[in-house]
Amino acid sequence: MEYATEEFAIFLCRLALEFDDRVELAREGGHPEEAAVIALQYQARSKAVAVRFLNGPCGWMVNP
* Contact between 62 and 6 (Cβ < 8 Å): yes
- Strands of the sheet with 3-4, listed across from one edge: 3-4, 8-13, 47-53, 33-42, 22-25
pLDDT for the residue numbered 29: 77
- Structural domain including 56 reads 3-61
Q: Which of 43, 42, 64, 55 is nearest to 7 (CA)?
A: 55
Query: What is the pTM for the complete model shown?
Result: 0.83
2-58 pLDDT, tens per residue? 888 889 999 999 898 999 999 998 877 778 899 999 999 998 888 999 999 998 887
Considering its fold, how many domains does the chain have in total? 1
C-alpha 50/C-alpha 64 separation (Å) is: 21
